[in-house]
Amino acid sequence: MRAKWIFSGIFLPLLTGITVVSCSDSEEKLEVLTDVYAINKKFDSEVKSATAYYAYANQNVLSVTVTIPNSGGNVELESIPGSVYNMAKKPKESDFKTIPPVEGSYEFTIKGMNGETLQVPDVLKYENLAIPQFTKIKFSGTHYILELEWNVITNADGYFVKIFDLDSKLIFNGYNIKPDANKYIITSSSSSGYWSEAAVDMKSYLLQLNAFANDLEANTSNYIYNISEISISEKQIKWGVNN
CATH of domain 32-124: 2.60.40
CATH 2.60.40.10 fits 134-238, yes or no: yes
Tens digits of per-residue pLDDT, 82-126?
Answer: 787 899 999 999 999 999 999 999 999 999 988 899 999 999 999
How far is it, in rounded angstroms, from Cα 238 to Cα 55?
Answer: 36
Fold matches, 32-124 and 134-238 = yes
E runs forming strands in the chain? 32-43, 46-57, 61-67, 74-76, 78-79, 86-89, 104-112, 117-124, 134-139, 146-150, 158-165, 170-174, 183-186, 193-195, 204-214, 227-238
AA letter at 81:
P
Mean pLDDT of all residues belonging to the chain: 87
**Contact present, 147 and 136 (Cβ < 8 Å):** yes
Q: What is the pLDDT of residue 221?
A: 67
**Is residue 185's pLDDT more than 90?**
yes
**Is residue 7's pLDDT more than 60?**
no
How far is it, in rounded angstroms, from Cα 222 to Cα 225?
Answer: 6
Tens digits of per-residue pLDDT, 37-56?
Answer: 999 999 988 999 999 999 99
What is the reported pTM?
0.86
Q: Domain residue spans in the chain?
A: 32-124, 134-238
